């Protein structure tokens, strides 16, 4: 099974990544972690775009995902990718091109649930807390 985990750097994404890794391990599958960066950037109080800083922060989160996969992905074929997106349709296009069987996503991308051509699991940090308690 090819599992695509969508990450946007939130705690929900961290939970989705752990869940996706478990699914890949349980099915002897492959994990692809796709860290996404929204193309739209808000402006600060002075009207300046914060795009440069936001992109730098996103790249740092991507590197931390790569490190997490390296440290936790033992025995699982796993890699990470970085993409600048406009909306969830870019994620679905990526999943289709990569022939993904399961998309694991934080709630921020719930809109793609009904549009995907494969299974989609929406995972939040709250879900993980309930499982661990």
CATH of the domain at 41: 3.40.50.620
End-to-end CA distance of the chain: 29
Cα–Cα nearest to 36, from 100, 108, 85: 85
Distance CA 37, CA 13 (A): 13
Q: What's the pLDDT tens digit per position in 1-48? A: 999 999 988 899 999 999 999 999 999 999 999 999 875 545 455 554
Domain that holds residue 68: 2-101+109-118
> What number of other Cβ atoms are within 10 A of residue 61's Cβ?
19
DSSP assignment letter at 45: T
Indicate whether 33 belongs to any domain.
Answer: yes
- How distant, in Å, are the alpha carbons of 27, 63, 74, 83, 114 from that of 15? 19, 17, 18, 20, 21
Indicate whether 26 belongs to any domain.
Answer: yes
pTM as predicted: 0.83
Q: What's the pLDDT tens digit per position in 76-133? A: 999 999 998 888 899 999 999 999 999 999 998 898 889 999 999 999 988 655 444 4
């Amino acid at each position: 099974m090819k599992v695509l985990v969508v990450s946007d750097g939130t705690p929900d994404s961290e939970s989705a990544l752990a869940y996706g890794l478990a699914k890949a391990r349980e099915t002897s599958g492959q994990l692809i972690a796709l860290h996404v960066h929204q193309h739209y950037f808000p402006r600060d109080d002075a009207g300046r775009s914060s795009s440069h800083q936001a992109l730098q922060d996103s790249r740092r989160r991507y590197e931390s995902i790569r490190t997490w996969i390296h440290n936790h992905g033992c025995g699982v074929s796993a890699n990470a990718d970085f993409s600048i997106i406009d909306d969830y349709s870019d994620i679905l296009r990526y999943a289709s091109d990569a022939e993904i069987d399961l998309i694991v996503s934080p709630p921020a991308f719930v809109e793609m649930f009904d549009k995907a051509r494969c299974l989609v699991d929406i995972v939040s940090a709250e879900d993980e807390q309930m499982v661990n308690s």
